[in-house]
Amino acid sequence: MIKRQKILMQIVICLGAASVFAFFMAFISPRILFLGKFNSAQYMNLSITKFESLTEMTLMHRAFIATGVFILVSVLTGILTTYTYKKIEDKEFNKVRTKLFVDFLNKLKISNTGEGFMDAIQNDLEYKANCEVLFVDPKTDHVIYNSSSRFISEPKTLDNLTEKFKGVEKSGFYFFDDDFNIVKKQKTAKGFAIITESTWLFIICRFLHNVEKEIFPAIYTEIISYEKKEATLSKLLEFAELAKEWNMIAETQRSFLPKKIPDIKGLDIGAYYRPLVNVSGDYYDFVEVSETKTLFVVGDISGKGLPAALIMGVVVNTIRIAEDKEDIAALLYSVHDAIRRMGLVDKYTVMFMGLIDTEKMTIRYVNASLESPLVLTESMDGYKIKTLDSNCSIVGIIDLDDVEVQEVSLYRGDVLVMLTDGVPEVMNENGVELGETEFYLESVKQYAKQSAGELVEDIAGMAFAYSVGRKVRDDLTIVAVKLEG
């Protein structure tokens, strides 16, 4: 239903856009004055005289006008299409029977554990939608959950379903009929199945033919996302429960950090990571989005120990499983929601996310209250420093306002230095922080000509040398990127 409505609306919008564009193209045509009928030779002569007195519209002028009209029509068409699609989806998804599955889908989005998943099945599918549910582990054929109805509880039902779906090699969602045969048409289906490597979820529903079809792939996608979140938390919690020493937790935490510096064309990358204790609140990551775009993440979790390690794993994993890593604002909202769903009191993160585009030579970024990264640009007088200051509040504890993604131009040879507050807040014997001295930035300028790997090592060495006689009181994380060219 939604698909047909979207196609029809797309045709209507395209026809409208084409009509507007055709009208303007006719308007800028040099023959516009001669369209229509002439009533007399005298009127024709008068029209030609007026046409000759007008300023001639050159080919360049027509090209500029046509381009401007085309861009305007394209933008308006895109806005109108997005708005119309949303209205269609809202209308269809708010229908009573479809909304029962929408409620289940929304519950899935906030589920990180098996308990939350089972609660969504029981409350939204069984009690509210009156569906019958069978949840099976395909690796062991073990029934994890089944409804209490006689039909779904019969061993024969499980045998029939597993026999029919054993041959399914591709993960996805499937409809099945009264005989448990896979069918393509929703109208003839008695139920549907969500099939993944670790989940077989069979749902029998008497009003399935009245449910909007677009909801089924959405449920499948959300179950895949749930499995990844649940696996991450399970891994961390498993180590946390079994570990007798912090070293085991620290190793688990480090497994979420990059195992090596990636080899990315046009970029020289260096990273330095030293936790204050075995388990750190600092984290960083590099994600190669495309051949020309790379996402850099540096952050710091409030506090130390196991809670910080758990949140760090959730933050990094949330970013890595996101489908659209170019939408930085959406990534930040996802991280914010993931932390809040964990329910840990007074835990939040400050973080920087920057997407470097080596083709356009730009960086698009959000700085959520992290120490301002430095952009060093070489000039005749040495390196000039520009800071990428905070433009967003802390993440995970208070409601976020609209996230503003800023963009800055870069140049070949530029150096980007991202770090947590452990470096600039190092103190000397007089209690003066390194970041408050001129020595700090002047030293960074001197190190800028070196490779990114040498640069981060020198900055870390500067911090330790400055704090001689005093203990470094925080984690140290430094990431440097040089734009080669």
Q: Specify the CATH number for the domain of residue 329.
A: 3.60.40.10
DSSP 334-392: HHHHHHHHHT-TT--EEEEEEEEETTTTEEEEEEESPPPPEEEEEETTEEEEEE----S
pLDDT score of 44:
46
pLDDT score of 39:
45
Is pLDDT above 90 for 443?
yes
Order of strands across the sheet that contains 415-419: 267-274, 476-483, 415-419, 374-379, 382-387
pLDDT score of 173:
93
Where does a domain end: 233, 250, 283? 233
Is pLDDT above 60 for 1?
no
Work out the average pLDDT over 76-103: 70
∠ at Cα 167 (166, 173), nearest 5°? Answer: 80
Q: What are the distances in angstroms from CA 395 to CA 232, 348, 367, 370, 425?
A: 20, 6, 10, 11, 21
**Whether residue 199 is found in the same domain as residue 114:** yes
DSSP-based three-state secondary structure for 30? coil
pLDDT score of 342:
86
Query: In the beta sheet, which residues pair with residue 427?
Result: 433
pLDDT score of 91:
56
Task: State the amino acid at position 439 in one-letter form.
Answer: F
Residue 45 lies in a domain: no
**Whether residue 411 is found in the same domain as residue 384:** yes
**Whether residue 22 is found in the same domain as residue 105:** no
Q: What are the distances in angstroms from CA 47 to CA 26, 27, 35, 36, 38?
A: 18, 16, 11, 12, 9
Residue-range definition of the domain harbouring residue 176: 97-233
Alpha-carbon gap, residue 185 to 191, rounded angstroms: 11
**If we measure between CA atoms, which residue out of 270, 302, 298 comes closest to residue 284?**
298
Using an 8 Å Cβ cutoff, are 335 and 318 in contact?
Answer: yes
DSSP 96-151: HHHHHHHHHHHHHHT--SHHHHHHHIIIIIIIIT--EEEEEETTTTEEEEE-SSHH
**Whether residue 11 is found in the same domain as residue 109:** no
Is pLDDT above 60 for 52?
no
What band does 34 get if pLDDT is binned at 50, 70 and 90? Answer: very low
Residue 245 lies in a domain: no
> What would the two tokens of residue 485 be?
């060219």
pLDDT score of 333:
95
∠ at Cα 218 (212, 219), nearest 5°? Answer: 95
Residue 51 lies in a domain: no
> What would the two tokens of residue 416 be?
């980007």
Residue 266 — left, alpha, or beta (φ > 0 → left; ψ -120 to 50 → alpha)?
left
How many other C-beta atoms can be found within 10 angstroms of the C-beta atom of residue 75? 10
- The model carries a pTM of 0.57
Residue 249 lies in a domain: no
Q: Which residue has the tokens 């030609």?
A: 48
- The tens digit of pLDDT for each residue in 270-304 reads 999 988 766 778 999 999 999 999 999 999 998 77
pLDDT score of 43:
46
Alpha-carbon gap, residue 448 to 456, rounded angstroms: 10
Using an 8 Å Cβ cutoff, are 202 and 158 in contact?
Answer: no
Phi, psi of 258 (to 5 degrees): -55, 135
Altogether, the residues listed in the chain come to a count of 485
Alpha-carbon gap, residue 387 to 418, rounded angstroms: 10
Q: Which residue has the higher pLDDT, 222 or 1?
A: 222
Is pLDDT above 80 for 162?
yes
pLDDT score of 187:
85
Is pLDDT above 80 for 38?
no
Is pLDDT above 80 for 42?
no
Work out the average pLDDT over 63-76: 74
What band does 191 get if pLDDT is binned at 50, 70 and 90? Answer: very high
**Whether residue 322 is found in the same domain as residue 350:** yes
**Whether residue 370 is found in the same domain as residue 350:** yes
DSSP-based three-state secondary structure for 124? helix
Using an 8 Å Cβ cutoff, are 452 and 480 in contact?
Answer: yes
**Whether residue 435 is found in the same domain as residue 301:** yes
Total count of domains within the chain: 3
Give the domain CATH number at 126.
Answer: 3.30.450
Is pLDDT above 50 for 415?
yes
pLDDT score of 36:
43
- What is the β-pairing status of strands 172-176 and 191-195? antiparallel
**Whether residue 105 is found in the same domain as residue 229:** yes
**Whether residue 83 is found in the same domain as residue 129:** no
Phi, psi of 299 (to 5 degrees): -155, 175
Where does a domain end: 94, 117, 140? 94
- What is the β-pairing status of strands 200-204 and 132-137? antiparallel
Residue 159 lies in a domain: yes
Residue 43 lies in a domain: no
- The tens digit of pLDDT for each residue in 247-275 reads 666 777 778 889 899 999 999 999 999 88
Task: State the amino acid at position 2 in one-letter form.
Answer: I
Where does a domain end: 94, 116, 140? 94
**Whether residue 84 is found in the same domain as residue 101:** no
pLDDT score of 106:
87
Residue 256 lies in a domain: no
Work out the average pLDDT over 235-243: 67
Residue 174 lies in a domain: yes
**Whether residue 322 is found in the same domain as residue 447:** yes
Q: Which residue has the higher pLDDT, 339 or 69?
A: 339
Residues whose CB falls within 8 Å of the CB of residue 8, separated by 6 or more in sequence, listed in order = none
Work out the average pLDDT over 453-473: 87
Residues whose CB falls within 8 Å of the CB of residue 86, separated by 6 or more in sequence, listed in order = none
DSSP-based three-state secondary structure for 311? helix
Task: State the amino acid at position 444 in one-letter form.
Answer: V
Phi, psi of 346 (to 5 degrees): 60, 30
**Whether residue 72 is found in the same domain as residue 133:** no
| Average confidence score pLDDT of the chain | 83
Q: What are the distances in angstroms from CA 388 to CA 131, 363, 475, 478?
A: 52, 10, 21, 15
